[in-house]
């Protein structure tokens, strides 16, 4: 159990059955009055934010969050199946909870799954992931149109801009933090 004295940015608490993270916090106290603890909280499942003011004596349930290393197995409709590498336990994560991570999920990729109780609420992929280009227009030698990039579709269905010299079937590295092309994988 947390008290108001524990409030700080980054603290994770449970409110109305949801995990929230404190994103802004200030202490206010009028004159000789009682202390007020003003917080902005972000729902870690839905992403919605909430402003709440607490007083001394208020208490909070910690949000019991657990991060586990898992391996991506396969996708079935909007369900993504993962396996815990230690316990071999399998879990299903819905597309909504994945966010942009879904663009980078290839078989056997190791990811960090954030669990709230039994429920997966987020998946963190490595900063750099190698993916194969399945479709892109060929580079026309002598093209002087000045375009320094072209669209390419990856094996996960993700479409991004790549340099003109990238060809179909090539393996490229994506920076998952920006979602952009990083480099060509030689070999």
Write out the binding residues for other proteins, residues 46-105 only, by CB under 8 A. Answer: 53, 56-57
**Neighbouring residues of 102: CB distance < 8 A, sequence distance ≥ 6:** 80, 95, 156
The one among 15, 36, 73, 160 contacting other proteins by CB under 8 A: 36
CB 161 within 8 A of CB 154: no
State the minimum distance, in angstroms, from the CB of residue 24 to other proteins: 11
- Residue entry with tokens 């839905």: 46
- Using CB under 8 A, which of 1, 17, 32, 186 touches other proteins? 32
Residues in contact with other proteins, total (CB under 8 A)?
Answer: 16
Provide the token pair at 104: 């980078």
Minimal distance in Å, beta carbon 32 to other proteins?
Answer: 6
Comparison of 31 and 138: residue with beta carbon closer to other proteins:
31
Among 1, 10, 16, 30, binds other proteins (CB under 8 A): 30
- Taking the complex as a whole, how short is the minimal distance between the CB of residue 4 and other proteins, in angstroms? 9
- Residue numbers at the binding site for other proteins (CB under 8 A): 5, 26-36, 38, 53, 56-57
């Amino acid at each position: 159990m947390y008290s108001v004295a524990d409030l700080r940015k980054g603290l994770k608490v449970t409110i109305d059955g949801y995990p929230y993270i404190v994103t802004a916090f200030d202490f206010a106290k009028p004159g000789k009055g009682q202390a007020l603890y003003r917080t902005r909280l972000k729902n870690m499942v839905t992403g919605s934010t909430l402003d709440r003011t607490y007083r001394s004596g208020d208490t909070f349930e910690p949000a019991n969050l657990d991060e586990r290393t898992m391996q991506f197995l396969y996708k079935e409709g909007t369900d993504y199946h993962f396996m815990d590498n230690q316990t071999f336990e399998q879990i299903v994560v819905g597309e909504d909870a994945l966010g942009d991570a879904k663009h980078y999920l290839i078989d056997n990729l190791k990811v960090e799954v954030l669990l709230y109780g039994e429920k997966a609420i987020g998946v963190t992929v490595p900063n750099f992931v190698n993916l194969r280009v399945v479709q892109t227009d060929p580079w026309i030698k002598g093209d002087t149109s000045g375009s320094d990039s072209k669209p390419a579709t990856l094996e996960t269905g993700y479409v991004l801009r790549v340099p003109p010299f990238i060809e179909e079937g090539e393996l490229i590295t994506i920076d998952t933090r920006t979602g952009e092309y990083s480099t060509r994988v030689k070999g």
